Amino acid sequence: MKIKKYYIPASIIGAIILIGIIFLISNQQNIMNGPSQEEVKSQTAVNNNEAQQIRSQLGIALQSGGITPESYEEIKNKIDTLENQGHDSQEISELREMLSRLSVGGQGNEQIQTTTVQNQYQETTTFNSISQNTTSGIIIWDDKTGKWEPNINPPACPDPLVLQSPVDLNLVTSILYPGQVRGGDFKPHGGFRTDGATGSIEVKAPIEGYVWRVAKFTDGGGIHYMFDIQHPCGIMYRLGHLSAVPPELEPIFDNVPEREFGDSRTTVVEPVYIKLGQTIATNVQQGTGFDWGVYDLRNENEASKDPAFREAHKDEYSQAYYAICWLDYLPADQQSIVKSLPAADGISGKNSDYC
């Protein structure tokens, strides 16, 4: 029996080889071109979130004063990974600096003295060593007992207390004074108007602290984000009428219910460290301004010593009795600008129970 031989035409063989060559060249170009823009964007978002988590971990550890060798090595490796992936060099330096300030190996309840230098002031205080893996090491103030009290002994506040403006004052057209009646209701907080400003209005942290409570709801201005942020020493500030937050802060709202129209009730969240000058919002509602209230939780304010004031605002004591005139705590050059601007409210003007 003869075995038939079949021959593949040379044209077909040539076509197969050509297809293979094209496939190899295409793959080589993809390798040379590197990741796509979408892949880079996705990796950047992941890295930003990872950096925020590391910063939060380090903030907790700094409050407790110590860190275990294992945790130190883990955080160091995470920072190294971020650096190798090309993450922002300034943030890498900041994370390494925070890590370098930690006492490594402290476990149990021994007392550790920590000295923290932050911008224009220095704090020296003593904390119990608590693992950074628990939020019990973070100092949080609460008003459950009818007055503001910290969960553990707080550090002394900066003296003098200086707050940076949370917004570029070149964009501000008028000032809402804290401690006045607006729209028929008493408002312990103040704020800024930015009428006529074009583009987004960025809002930054006026002092470092921890996000404690937040709210997300809708009102006449659309989506409304609100933050309550506490400095461990007992200074709290509230930012409201924010319409957009940066990607690294979006996870805070993952488990926060988005309430119904006009429902501004807040939700307590796991503390997230916020550094001085960090962006809290990338825009404000309708671009016309936002609320800013500051509260000294250590002591009731002077206005609250008036029996009539006390009676009138007893249902909002946690803010009304502790709010302060934040205009007086800005740096001198910023104070001068803010106090020279007109009042935003046409009825109350610059009248204030706090200023």
Return the bridge partners of 213, or none. 228, 268
Give the model's pLDDT for residue 71.
Answer: 73
Give the separation between CA 192 and CA 290, rounded to whole angstroms: 6
Which segments of 171-327 does DSSP mark as H helices, in order? 307-312, 317-320
Q: State both tokens at 95.
A: 């994370």
In a 3-state reduction of DSSP, which class is residue 283?
A: strand
- What b/e readout covers 82-115, taking b as 16+ CB neighbours within 10 angstroms? bbeeebeeebbeebeebbeebbeebeeeeeeebe
> Of the candidates 162, 211, 171, 185, which has an alpha carbon nearest to the alpha carbon of residue 326?
162
Domains and CATH numbers, the chain: 1-131 (no CATH), 169-340 (2.70.70.10)
pLDDT lower than 50: segments of the chain: 1-4, 6, 31, 64-65, 106-136
List, for residues 259-299, the tens digit of each pLDDT value.
878 677 888 998 999 999 999 999 998 768 999 999 999 99
The per-residue pLDDT for 92 is 86
Q: What angle do CA 239, 209, 198 make, to 5 degrees?
A: 35
Q: How far apart are CA 260 and CA 126, in angstroms?
A: 44
pLDDT in tens, 212-252: 999 988 788 788 999 999 999 999 999 999 999 999 999 99
* pLDDT for residue 83: 87
pLDDT for 345? 93
Residues 6+ apart with CB under 8 A from 341: 172, 173, 174, 175
The residues that bridge with 180 in the sheet, in sequence order, are 187
**CA distance to 120, 239, 258, 307, per residue, from 265 (Å):** 35, 14, 10, 28
Pairing of β 66-67 and β 103-104: parallel
- Directed axis angle between helix 89-100 and helix 37-64, to 10°? 20
